[in-house]
Amino acid sequence: MAANRMLVFFARHKVAGNLLMALMILFGLLGLTQLNRQLMPDFTLEQIQIDITWPGASTQDIESNVIEPMEREFMLLDNLDRVYATSFEGRAVVQLDFDYGSNMAKALTDVQSAVARVATFPQEMERPIVRLLTPTEVICNIEISGPFTESALKAYAWEIRNALLQRGVSSIRMSGLRKSELRVEVPAETLRRLDLTLEDIAQRIARSSLDLPGGTLDTDRISRQIRSERRARTAAELGELEVLSNESGERLQLKDIARIHETAADGEVARKVGEHASINMNVRRSRGVDSMLAQQGVESYLDEFRATAPASLKVELFDVFADQVTQRVNMLLVNGAGGLLLVLAVLYIFLGGRPAFWVAIGIPISFLAAMAGMAAIGLSLNMISMFALIMGIGIIVDDAIVVSEHAGTLYNAGVPGGEAAERAARVMFPPVLAASLTTLAAFLPILLVQEEVGSVVKELPLTLGFVIAASLVECFLVLPMHLRTALTKQGKPAPWRIRFDEGFARFRRGAFSRLLKTALRQRYASVTTAICLFLLSITMMTTGRLGFDFFPAPESDLVFANFSFTPGAPRRESEVMVAELGRSSRAAERSLGYAPGDLIAFGVGSVATRDPGVGNAPLEVSADHLGVYTLELAPGDTREVRNEAFIEAWKREVTRSPGVEKLIFFSRQVAGPPGNDVELSLSGASLEDMKAAAVYAAGWLSAVPGVDSVDDDLPRGKQEVLLEITPAGEAMGFSAAEVARQVRNAYEGALADRVPRDEEELRVLVKLPEAGPGEAGLRSLYLRSRSGVEAPLTEVVDLRQRVGFSQIRRTDGVRQVTVSADINPTMTTSGQVIRAMQEQGVMRTIRERYGVAINFLGRAEQQQMALEDFQMAAMVALGSIYIVLAWVFARYAMPLVVMSVIPFGLVGAILGHLAFGFNLSMFSLVALLGLAGVLVNDSIILVSAVQRHRDEGESMMDALVHGAQERLRPVLMTSMTTIVGVTPILFEGSLQAQLVQPLAITLVFGLALAPPLVLVYVPCVMAIGGDLSRRSRARRTRRQPRVSLGGRASSPST
C-alpha cells in the first residue's frame, strides 16, 4: 500500500522528517507574514444602494412619487431578495439585497436600467445615485477640534484625509463637515418692484456663470487652450453680476438688490468637543488590508502631522478597532503559551521527557503549517479563525497521543524503538485518518450556512481543515522519526515514573476493570442512566434554566445618549441638550468616584444626527431636532464600573430639557450580526395604526426587566401645510406644480449654480430672506402665473395643516415599522423576551387590535435563519460521519454505536455553562462539533481495538474489557491535555476572553465526561448490540424448519 510505504520511508529516513518539519515551519512563518490581522473575516455584500434627493419634498411625497414607481420596476429584476426603502424629508435611501452569490456587476447594470426606465420622477428631483455597497471595517476614529473657524478645520481635515488615502487607507467617512452654500436673499418687495421672480434671478446667475472650453489657439511656437470663464466663486464675485440694465447704460448689480453671504446648509450635522467645533474621520479598511498595519500607518502620520500643526489643534484617536484585534491576539498568545506548558507537563507525566516534547512541539508546527494554507487561499487571522485554532489543539494532541502512546506501549513490551514507532504509525493510520475524516465531515457542512452569519463563520471549517491536514502530516510523517530517536535514546526511567506507571497499571487492572465489568453486567441500567442524564440536561434548556444568547460579545468602551425633540424644534434647543449631556456625563464620572479623565477618555456631542445603534435609522439621517452624545470610557479591563452602571449614573445626573420626546442611553456591542437584540416588525396597516401598535409594543417591552433602549422607527414629523389650488387660482392660470415650485423656491431656494471649490461643491441658492418663513410669511407670499398674473398665495390656494411622519420605511413594497430594543444579557436574553411576548398574548393582541402583521427581524431573524442552516448542516454532518464510519468498519450498525456518544457531549457543556453562569451561544454549538469530533475519534480507536481483540479469538466481553483497558491511557491523555490546554482561557479575566470562553467551557466540561463515555458507555452499547445480534440470530434459527429423518419438516419445539 502506497500510504504504508510512505510512512515506513519517513519513519526510517534519518533526515526526511526533519526536512519536512523545517518546510512546515518555513512556509508557516511566510504565511504568518501574509495573514491579515483583523476583527472579523472579510465577506461580500450582495447589496446595491440608491440615494435620492428631492429638496423640500415631504416624506409622503417622496414615498408616492419616487419610491413606489421604482419598486414597480424592481419587481422585474433577477435574483432580487429584498427591497428596503426609507423616505425622509427631502431625500430617500433604497437598498436592494440580492441572492447570495449573485453576479453583482450584472445586478448593478440591471438596477441602473430599472431606475432609468422610471419616466415619472419629479423634475426638481436630483439624479439618483446608484452604487454597489462594498464591505469595510472600521480601523479607528479621528476627531480634530480647536478654536478655529469652520473653514480652517475643513482644511486640516482634508489635509489629513488626503494624506491617509495616499498612504493606503481604503476609505474615510467624514462627519461634522458641514456643506457650505452661497445664499442670495432677495426681499419679496424688491422682486415685485422689479417685476422679477426668484427663478428669474437664478436663471440669470446660471447664464452668467460660465466656465467653458473655447478650443485651441495654435501658433508657430506654442499652442494655447482657450477658455471662457466668468463663474463666480465668492459672495463678492457673485455680487458683481448684472441683473438688469436700461438703454441709458445704468446697470443693476445683484449686490444692489440682494443680501449675498456664505453659510452652512440647513440641517447639516455639527460636532463639538468641549466648547470647540470638531470634525470626525471614520477610517476604514477594505478587503485584504491588515488592520494593525493600517492603524500603525495612521498613528505614524498623525505624529508627523501634530509636529507641524498648531498646538491648539487637537487630533484625537478613539474607538480604535485595531486595539481590539491586538488585545485578542495577545490574549490568545499568552493563554496559548500557558496552555502549552500545561500540556507539556501532562505529556511528560504519561510519556516521559523526549516523547512528550515531540508531541507538544507538534502543536505550534501544525499551527504554522495550517497558517500557510490559510494564507494561500486568502483567509485572515480574526476572531473566527483564532476560535478555530483553539479548537484545533484537541485535534492535534489527540492524533499525536494516539501514535506516541501506542509506540510507547510496544516499546515497553520489548519491541525496539525504531520498529515500535514504525508499527505505531502503520497501525494507527487507518483509524486516525477515519477520525480526521469524521471531524471534517462534522465541520465542512457549516459552509452551507448563508447570509451574514454564513459569511462570518465560513472561515471556521476552512481553518480547521488546514489544521487537520497539518496534524496528519506532522503526526505520521514527522513524529515517527522523532519517536524512533526518543525511544531509542530513552534512558532508565526515574523512580517516580516507575511508581507512577506501576500505580496506573494497578488502577487499570483493578478499579477500572471492576468498574467496567460491573457496568457491562448492568449494561442496560448503565445506558439508561446516561440517557436520563441527557434528558435532564435537555430539560434545563427547555425550561429556561439555561438561556441561549445567539452571538455574545463583550461590551465596548463606547456609550451613547440619543435624544429627539418635537419635530420642528429650533436647532438651538438641541445644542443646549448636547451641552447638558456633556455636563451630566462628567458629573456621573465624579459620582462614581473617579477623577476627571480617569473614567471618561473622550466625549463628543453631535447636533442634527443620531447614532444608528438605535432602530434602523441609517447614518445619513439628519434633522435639527436630533442629537447624540458619544463617550469613550477607559478600557474595560482597567475599570471596575461596567457600562450599565455608568449609564444608570448618567441618567441620574442629566436634566432633561423641556420638549425632549425621547432620551435613550445605550452601549454598542463589539461584534456580531447586524441589528438590535429585539426587533419587532409591524406591517400591513395604515401609518396611524402601525404607529399605535408600535407604541403599545414599546410600552410592553419597556416594562420588562433587562430591556433597554426601546424605540420605533416611525417618528412624527414636522407640522405640514397642505396647499390645495382653488378654482380661482386655476382661473388665473396657476397649476399645482407651478405653485409648489414657487413656494419651494421661496423657502428652500432656487438652485442657480453648483460651484466646485477646494474639496467641496458650493451650491448657489436664491431665496427669500430668513424673516420670510413662518405661517404669516407664507400667507403674505405672492405668486406669479406664467401669463404674468400676480396674486397672494391665499387667493390661489387653500391652506390646510396636518402632522405627518419624518421617516417611512418600506420592505418589498409594504410599509413597515420596527420596534427595537437592546438586552442586558445579565438579566435576560432576546429568546426569553420573544417567548414571553408570545406566551403572554402580546403578539395576538397587536394583531387583533391594530390589524398588523408581525415578524421578528434583526438578530432574532439572523438567529432563526442561522439555526435553520445549522440544523441542515448538522443533518449533513451526521450523514457524512455515518458514511465515513460505515466505510471504515464495513458495517451498517457499528457507526451508530460510535455516533451514540455525540449527544452526550451536550451534558458536560450544559453543566459547565450553568457552573460559570454563561448562556449557550452559537460558539457553544460550534464547539460541540469539535467536542463531538474528539469523542468520535476516541470511540473509533476503541472500537478498532475491540475488533482487533475479537479477531484474535477473544470473547465479546473479554474483547470489550481488554480494548477499554488498552485505550484508557490515551483517552485520559487526550482529555487531560485538551482540558489543560484551554483551561487558562476559562479563567482569563479580560473582557476579550468572553468571546471564546463558551468554547473553553464546552471543551473542558465536555471532555471531562469523555473517559466514562468512551470507555464505559460505548462498551455497554456494544455489549447491548451483541445481545441484540444474538437474539436476532436465535429468532432466525427458530424460524428455520427442521428436517426429520423421514424427510418431513417439523416445527421447532417450544
**Residue 879 has which C-alpha cell?**
450523514
Contacts of residue 105, Cβ cutoff 8 Å, sequence gap at least 6: none
Tell me the one-letter amino acid at 319: D
Q: Tell me, what's the pLDDT at 435?
A: 80
Tell me the one-letter amino acid at 292: M
Query: Percentage of the chain with pLDDT > 90?
Result: 31
**Topology at the third CATH level for domain 44-134:** Alpha-Beta Plaits (3.30.70)
3-state helix, strand, coil in the chain (%, to 5): 55, 20, 25
Q: Tell me, what's the pLDDT at 228?
A: 41
**Chain CA centroid to CA 820, Å:** 18
Which stretches of 148-214 are DSSP H helices? Answer: 150-166, 188-194, 198-208
Given a cut of 80, whether residue 1047 has pLDDT beyond it is no
Contacts of residue 209, Cβ cutoff 8 Å, sequence gap at least 6: 230, 231, 232, 241, 752, 753, 755, 764
> E strands within 785-904?
790-792, 797-805, 807-811, 814-823, 853-857
In whole angstroms, give the CA distance from residue 730 to residue 838. 56
Between the alpha carbon of residue 427 and those of residues 145, 209, 941, 1025, the distances in Å are 70, 88, 11, 26
Q: Average pLDDT of 942-962?
A: 89
In whole angstroms, give the CA distance from residue 779 to residue 575. 31
Measured N-to-C along each axis, helices 513-521 and 523-542 cross at an angle, to the nearest 10 degrees, of 90
DSSP 8-state class, residue 754: E
> What is the residue-averaged pLDDT of the chain?
85
Q: How confident is the model at residue 988 (pLDDT cuts 50, 70, 90)?
A: confident
Between the alpha carbon of residue 142 and those of residues 27, 81, 408, the distances in Å are 37, 37, 60
Q: Which CATH superfamily is domain 1-34+326-488 in?
A: Multidrug efflux transporter AcrB transmembrane domain (1.20.1640.10)
Tell me the one-letter amino acid at 833: V
For 897-940, give the secondary structure using H, E and C: HHHCCHHHHHHHHHHHHHHHCCCECHHHHHHHHHHHHHHHHHHH
Of 91 and 669, the one with more pLDDT: 91
Chain segment 711-749, per-residue pLDDT in tens? 888 888 877 788 888 888 888 888 888 888 888 888 888
Query: Percentage of the chain with pLDDT > 70?
Result: 92
Residue by residue, DSSP assigns 498-554 as HHHHHHHHHHIIIIIHHHHHHHHHTHHHHHHHHHHHHHHHHHHHHTTSS-B-SS---
Buried b vs exposed e over 775-813: b needs ≥16 C-beta within 10 Å?
eebbeebbbbbeeeeebebeebbeeeeeebbbbbbbbee
Return the closest-CA partner of residue 262 out of 774, 760, 742: 760
Place of cell 465536555: 1006
Chain segment 899-935, per-residue pLDDT in tens? 888 888 889 899 999 988 888 887 888 788 778 877 8
Return the closest-CA partner of residue 361 out of 35, 22, 7, 14: 22
Return the closest-CA partner of residue 965 out of 931, 1014, 1036: 1014
Torsion of CA 725, 729, 733, 736, to 10 degrees: -10
In whole angstroms, give the CA distance from residue 17 to residue 123. 76
Q: Tell me, what's the pLDDT at 1046?
A: 46
CB atoms within 10 A of CB 957: 15
**Chain CA centroid to CA 175, Å:** 23
CB atoms within 10 A of CB 688: 11
Residue 606: phi and psi, rounded to 5, are -130, 135
Question: Max alpha carbon distance in the chain (Å)?
Answer: 147
Domains 1-34+326-488 and 555-669 share a fold: no
In whole angstroms, give the CA distance from residue 693 to residue 79. 33
Given a cut of 80, whether residue 328 has pLDDT beyond it is no
Per this entry, what is the length of the chain? 1054
Q: How confident is the model at residue 856 (pLDDT cuts 50, 70, 90)?
A: confident
Q: Tell me, what's the pLDDT at 835?
A: 84
Least confident of 93-107, 240-254, 273-287, 363-377: 240-254
Tell me the one-letter amino acid at 845: T
Q: Average pLDDT of 443-454?
A: 71
- In contact, 93 and 618? CB cutoff 8 Å: yes
| Radius of gyration of the chain measured on its C-alpha atoms | 37
Q: Tell me, what's the pLDDT at 135?
A: 79
User: How close are the terminal C-alpha atoms of the chain, in Å?
Assistant: 53
List the chain domain ranges: 1-34+326-488, 44-134, 187-215+225-257+719-805, 506-545+891-1036, 555-669
Helix, strand or coil for residue 355? helix
Q: Average pLDDT of 689-704?
A: 92
Q: Tell me, what's the pLDDT at 259?
A: 92
In whole angstroms, give the CA distance from residue 665 to residue 822. 10
In whole angstroms, give the CA distance from residue 525 to residue 541. 25
**Chain CA centroid to CA 130, Å:** 25
Q: How confident is the model at residue 226 (pLDDT cuts 50, 70, 90)?
A: very low
In whole angstroms, give the CA distance from residue 681 to residue 714. 11
Q: Tell me, what's the pLDDT at 615?
A: 38
Q: Tell me, what's the pLDDT at 520?
A: 93
State the pairing for strand pair 1042-1043/1049-1050: antiparallel
State the pairing for strand pair 259-264/180-185: antiparallel
Between the alpha carbon of residue 68 and those of residues 84, 617, 818, 909, 1020, the distances in Å are 12, 20, 20, 51, 67
Q: How confident is the model at residue 630 (pLDDT cuts 50, 70, 90)?
A: very high
Q: How confident is the model at residue 1041 (pLDDT cuts 50, 70, 90)?
A: low
**Topology at the third CATH level for domain 555-669:** Alpha-Beta Plaits (3.30.70)
Tell me the one-letter amino acid at 96: L
Of 227 and 14, the one with more pLDDT: 14
Q: Which CATH superfamily is domain 506-545+891-1036 in?
A: Multidrug efflux transporter AcrB transmembrane domain (1.20.1640.10)
- In contact, 682 and 854? CB cutoff 8 Å: yes
- In contact, 883 and 444? CB cutoff 8 Å: no
State the pairing for strand pair 790-792/782-784: antiparallel
Q: Tell me, what's the pLDDT at 595?
A: 93
Return the closest-CA partner of residue 469 out of 880, 29, 35, 24: 24
Of 710 and 4, the one with more pLDDT: 710
Q: Average pLDDT of 616-641?
A: 79
- In contact, 870 and 878? CB cutoff 8 Å: no
Chain segment 54-88, per-residue pLDDT in tens? 887 889 899 999 999 999 999 989 999 999 999 98
- In contact, 115 and 72? CB cutoff 8 Å: no
In whole angstroms, give the CA distance from residue 926 to residue 909. 12
Q: How confident is the model at residue 1051 (pLDDT cuts 50, 70, 90)?
A: very low
Q: Which helix (H) or strand (E) holds 486?
A: helix 479-488
Q: How confident is the model at residue 690 (pLDDT cuts 50, 70, 90)?
A: very high
**Chain CA centroid to CA 94, Å:** 22
Given a cut of 50, whether residue 208 has pLDDT beyond it is yes
- In contact, 443 and 389? CB cutoff 8 Å: no
Instruction: Domain 187-215+225-257+719-805: state its class.
Output: alpha beta
DSSP 8-state class, residue 381: B
Q: How confident is the model at residue 494 (pLDDT cuts 50, 70, 90)?
A: confident
- In contact, 992 and 329? CB cutoff 8 Å: no
Q: Tell me, what's the pLDDT at 612?
A: 53
Of 228 and 98, the one with more pLDDT: 98
Of 242 and 630, the one with more pLDDT: 630
- In contact, 277 and 144? CB cutoff 8 Å: no
Q: Tell me, what's the pLDDT at 247?
A: 65
Given a cut of 50, whether residue 1013 has pLDDT beyond it is yes
Tell me the one-letter amino acid at 179: K
Given a cut of 50, whether residue 634 has pLDDT beyond it is yes
**Chain CA centroid to CA 550, Å:** 12
Return the closest-CA partner of residue 464 out of 401, 400, 397, 385: 385
Given a cut of 70, whether residue 775 has pLDDT beyond it is no
Chain segment 21-36, per-residue pLDDT in tens? 999 999 999 998 888 8
Q: How many CA atoms, within 13 angstroms, populate the side-chain half-sphere of residue 987?
A: 7
Tell me the one-letter amino acid at 646: F
Contacts of residue 747, Cβ cutoff 8 Å, sequence gap at least 6: 56, 767, 768, 772, 773
Least confident of 537-551, 591-605, 751-765, 1040-1054: 1040-1054
Chain segment 868-891, per-residue pLDDT in tens? 777 787 788 888 888 888 888 888
Q: Tell me, what's the pLDDT at 528?
A: 94
What is the phi-psi region of residue 841: left when phi exceeds 0, alpha when psi lies from -120 to 50, beta otherwise?
Answer: left
In whole angstroms, give the CA distance from residue 530 to residue 517. 17
